[in-house]
Amino acid sequence: MNTGVTTWRKSSRSGGSGNDNNCVEVRRSTNADFHLRDSKLKSGSPVFALSADDFAALAKTL
C-alpha cells in the first residue's frame, strides 16, 4: 500500500552500541510535512507530524 510518504531515515551517527542507538527517525510525506518517531520502538512508536516550518525550527535547536 502506498502511503504517500518516504521511507524512515535515521542519522548515520546513530546505530552503535549502548545508548548510541537512541535516535529519532524522520520521513517526509508527499504534502511536505515531516514525521518523527523513536528509532528504538520502530512501528510501535508514536508518530509526530510536523509542518516543514516546524521541522526546520526544531532542527535549528539541535
Per-residue pLDDT tens digits for 3-54: 567 888 887 766 655 555 678 899 998 787 999 998 888 889 999 999 999 9
Return d(Cα 26, Cα 47) in angstroms, integer: 9
Q: How many domains does the chain have?
A: 1
Return d(Cα 48, Cα 35) in angstroms, integer: 5
Q: Which residues contact 22 (CB under 8 A, 6 or more apart)?
A: 14, 39, 40
Q: In which domain, by residue range, is 29 found?
A: 9-61
Q: How many CA atoms lie within 13 A of 3 on its CB side?
A: 8
Q: Is 4 part of any domain?
A: no
Q: Is 2 part of any domain?
A: no
Per-residue pLDDT tens digits for 32-44: 799 999 888 888 9
Cell of 17: 552500541
- Closest by CA to 22, choosing from 37, 40, 35, is 40
pTM for this predicted structure: 0.71
Q: Is 16 part of any domain?
A: yes
